[in-house]
Amino acid sequence: MDRKLRKERIGIVTSDKMDKSVVVTVERRVMHPKYGKFVKRSSKFMAHDEKKECHVGDTVKIMETRPISKNKCWRVVEVMERAK
């Protein structure tokens, strides 16, 4: 059975105070419809971090998954860069 392609995002961890969960902020650049200038838009995702290896400031890759809790349906795939 072939799995559907799952969405992946790269973002920065903004909160790690929960147990096995992190909040990841993903920024994207969108062109303004009228003025044509690129504007930064950000989205927050709650992601599952099983090994508790993420900390605030880390750059992580998250992947869509089945719902784990009320507002958690992403999981951390890898820590791409540690916070300095």
Domains and CATH numbers, the chain: 8-81 (2.40.50.140)
- The string of pLDDT tens digits covering residues 50-78 is 999 999 999 999 999 999 999 999 999 99
Whether 1 shows a pLDDT value over 90: the answer reads: no
Say if residues 16 and 55 touch (Cβ distance below 8 Å).
yes
- Global pTM reads 0.88
List CB contacts of 78: < 8 A, sequence separation 6 or more.
Answer: 60, 61
Q: Which residue has the higher pLDDT, 1 or 33?
A: 33
User: Which tokens is 45 given?
Assistant: 């995702």
Residue 83, pLDDT score: 87
- Angle 22-17-50 from CA coordinates, rounded to 5°: 45
**Residue 72 phi, psi dihedral angles, 5° rounding:** -130, 105
- Residue corresponding to tokens 């838009």: 41
- The string of pLDDT tens digits covering residues 28-55 is 999 999 999 999 999 999 999 999 999 9
